[in-house]
Amino acid sequence: MKASRLLKVALLCSLTVTFGFAVNGSFSSAESATAAKETKVAAVTTKKSDKAETKLDPNDPSSVIYLDTSGKPAGLGDSSKPPSMAYKAGQGWHPQALSATGLPKDRYGLIDWAKIVRENIVKPKPSLDAAEEEMPPLKMDVLIPAKGDFVNDVIYPHEMHTYWLKCEVCHPGIFVPAKGSNPMSMVEIAQGKWCGRCHGKVAFPLTDCNRCHTSPKQKAGK
């Protein structure tokens, strides 16, 4: 009985020793190899740095946005060749990456694109067409009176809208560009007309009443 136990212990000890040696050995050999390679790698990275930067930092949780859905670096392929499988996988829906970007959210948990602009978090290109010039946002607020006596009036900011959109997106198709000539109503907006063409679909939802209805009416009381 005792002998068998002793044998077991001895076996275990020998196993751990040999395993440890193997790991150590491989490490030490790798170290020497990397030391030798380091100079070469440095030369390569300086060459590549102006081409495309990999921002994979294991200590930065937001770096997962550079991984595709299968966990491999995405978007680093050769642009002169047809898209690889890895590239296509990188196009997939990536909720983990979305949450890791740390983009500000509104009270509904939706991404607050206006706050992103105000805090200079993203810097989008004006157009996919490199020749096209950036149009500066139009700084013009429009007071849209609410029809009822009790609801706050709306202050419509052209600035935030023209940051993302061109004039032609809204004018003259959705809104006639003249003050007071658009018979808007919440009923129609809720039906998907006017502001409801975007708000509630790609822009923040209509449930967020006070994000637009900001200017108090005198009559509203209290």
Partner 1 sequence: MLKRLIIASAIVIAIPAASWAGIGDIRLESKIASMKKAGVGPVVFPHDRHEKSIKCAECHPKIFKDKRGANDISMKFNMEGKFCGSPNCHNSPRTFPLYQCASCHTGVGAAK
Q: Which residues bind partner 1 (CB under 8 A)?
A: 146-152, 185-187, 189-190, 206-207, 209-210, 213, 220
Strands (E), the chain: 141-144, 153-157, 213-215
Q: How far is the CB of 110 from partner 1 (least distance, A)?
A: 13
The residue (of 63 and 152) whose beta carbon lies closer to partner 1 is 152
Alpha-carbon distance 159 to 177, whole Å? 15
The residue (of 174 and 186) whose beta carbon lies closer to partner 1 is 186
The residue (of 20 and 216) whose beta carbon lies closer to partner 1 is 216
The residue (of 89 and 186) whose beta carbon lies closer to partner 1 is 186
Q: How far is the CB of 42 from partner 1 (least distance, A)?
A: 55
Alpha-carbon distance 102 to 96, whole Å? 11
Q: How far is the CB of 207 from partner 1 (least distance, A)?
A: 4
Q: How far is the CB of 150 from partner 1 (least distance, A)?
A: 4
Q: How far is the CB of 144 from partner 1 (least distance, A)?
A: 13
Alpha-carbon distance 44 to 51, whole Å? 12
The residue (of 147 and 166) whose beta carbon lies closer to partner 1 is 147
Radius of gyration of the chain (CA): 30
Contacts for 73 with CB less than 8 Å, ≥ 6 apart: 54, 56, 66, 67
Q: Measuring CA to CA, which residue among 79, 83, 93, 71 is closest to residue 51?
A: 79
